[in-house]
Structure 1
Amino acid sequence: MSCSISTQHLGGTFTLQQRSGSVRDTKRSSTRSAIFSIPQVDFIHEGAYYCQYQTQVSSRDFTSPQSNTVSFAVTVSLVQPNISVVAPDGGLFWGPQGPEVTRGHSLSILCSTEAQYPGGSFHLLLDASNSTRTQSALNHSASFHIPEIEHSHQGNYSCVYQVTVSSRTFNSTQSEPLTLTVRVFLAPIISSVLVCGLFLLITTSAVIYLAKRKDEANEESLPMATFAPAVSGTGNSSEHGPDATPADDNIYMNTMELADSGHCGGAEDDLEDDDYENSEKFKISTGIDNDHEEDDIYQNHN
């Protein structure tokens, strides 16, 4: 603070006096002014000050009236704190608006500041719910832990550092806002979609496979076209052809059993033998060797 006077009597003394306090300082000056400095301002220095000038003329002391007053206040200027987030168990991503945390994960919001004063505390502000959480500063920082993130934790966060100096409390400005977004964990939904898709694929493949097997089975079960010459009195049931029915098989079996029992088989054999011998004698007597003529004769004979 500077004190000055307009006078012709130099070599006097300037006095700086605190009006409502105990601060008092004097400085002799050979000029018309003097500067008073306070090396380290504290709260005891705030208030109103005035100056006076004293000089001696002809062995007589003279004092000037008090000057106008100058007042100043003492305050604490705290730096702006920092804010950050950490996710101990993962689930933290950085999007265009800031950190994004998966719902259900844990999260810690960190507030920190420069080492200006020991102690103090941090206030964590959430504008969405207009709520405040307070925690004491440790090493000029504090951690606000959220064990399980929910949608109610979404919003803009900011930190404020508060400290008490000489029985007075001071607050810093708010930190830069931190926009926290809570998102849903999509893994179960994606897994469900994948499982459903895989199940649908397996089911479709199984249906196609079974349909193909059924078609192959139907093709294998279709009767094959066969040709078997009818031979009376000989052969088995397979010679009846594909159109044979169980009734036909029964008739055939009964006929064979009757022939084997000798009721009619012997007479038929004798008749066939006599016809065959007569035919052979006929061919020998006529000298017929042509195959076609033999077939005709055989057919006529039958």
Structure 2
Amino acid sequence: MPEVNFDNEGSYQCQYKITVAGQDFTSSSDSVSLSVPLQQPSISLTSPNRGLVWGPEGAQITRGFSFVFTCSTSSHYPGGVFHLIFSGSNLTNTEPAVNQSASFSFPVAEYEQQGNYSLPLQQPSISLTSPNRGLVWGPEGAQITRGFSFVFTCSTSSHYPGGVFHLIFSGSNLTNTEPAVNQSASFSFPVAEYEQQGNYSCVYEVTLSSRTFTSTQTAPISVVIKSK
């Protein structure tokens, strides 16, 4: 696949087939789930008439001067929009993406424009494997044989230092958390039991400049534990 796109999302597995003495034999591998998340955009701030100074608390803009946020991405999909999210308001500014970027201009800085401006974190990806081949993909999702092991892997292409992944399980109020190492984390379940049936999804969280950013949840993977 020289250039992956959204149409390539889904589960993949290898199947080997051979005919011996007129009889067909088939063997299938575990499945690998492929997701194609959007790359995280970048955000920058400028002041055309030099009203901007960077201080220890962030950007300081002189009242009455203009400032501009520029959002951009290296994802080469046609069209799309950028949302500029402002913590001091329930409103979100939206502009169409032109050449993978968009600008949000504020001609006159006012006190009510103080706050945090951001773009949401990219959604991570989630995959499921079974090291001892206890996994079969069926119409209802992943079927894991009771007593076998399984592993969820959460990953992101966001290149922020550190961060953590949360594995959220619909069948429990508990959330497993692991540090991000090389933009990924694994959650191992050595012995599959019936109480581990349910939906699993990943969330990525990172703290930058004393602010915590949290991604949206991945689409869930449904797990069914079956008897041997």
> TM-score, with normalisation over the residues of structure 2?
0.54
1:130 is aligned to: 173
**Which letter maps to 2:210?**
S
Using the alignment, how far apart are the partners of 1:171 and 1:81 within structure 2?
10
CA, structure 1 residues 116+183, in 2 after alignment: closer, same or farther (shift >3 Å)? same
Using the alignment, how far apart are the partners of 2:156 and 2:175 within structure 1?
18
Question: In structure 1, which of residues 182, 191, 194 is the aligned counterpart of residue 225 of structure 2?
Answer: 182
Using the alignment, how far apart are the partners of 2:150 and 2:115 within structure 1?
45
- With 81-90 and 114-123 compared, the bigger mean Cα shift is at 114-123
CA, structure 1 residues 73+96, in 2 after alignment: closer, same or farther (shift >3 Å)? same
Q: Which has the larger radius of gyration?
A: 1
2:163 is aligned to: 120
2:209 is aligned to: 166
CA, structure 1 residues 114+89, in 2 after alignment: closer, same or farther (shift >3 Å)? same
2:133 is aligned to: 90
Compute the displacement of 1:89 (Å): 0.6
Relative to its length, the structure with more strand (as a share) is 2
Using the alignment, how far apart are the partners of 1:152 and 1:67 within structure 2?
55
1:152 is aligned to: 195
Alignment partner of 2:117: what SS?
A: coil
**Mapping of 1:1-302 within 5 angstroms?**
16=51, 23-24=60-61, 35-37=66-68, 68-69=110-111, 70-75=113-118, 77-185=120-228
8 Å Cα contact 1:78-1:116 kept in structure 2? no
Relative to its length, the structure with more helix (as a share) is 1
Using the alignment, how far apart are the partners of 2:58 and 2:225 within structure 1?
56
Gaps of 5+ in 1: 4-13, 27-32, 41-45, 48-65, 186-302
Q: Give the paired residue count.
A: 145
8 Å Cα contact 2:144-2:192 kept in structure 1? yes
**Which letter maps to 2:126?**
I
Compute the displacement of 1:71 (Å): 3.7
> TM-score, with normalisation over the residues of structure 1?
0.42
**Which letter maps to 2:152?**
I
What whole-Å deviation, never above 9, does each CA across 1:64-114 have from its counterpart, x for those lacking one? xx9854345223521111111011011110000211100000110111111
Gaps of 5+ in 2: 1-45, 72-86, 89-107
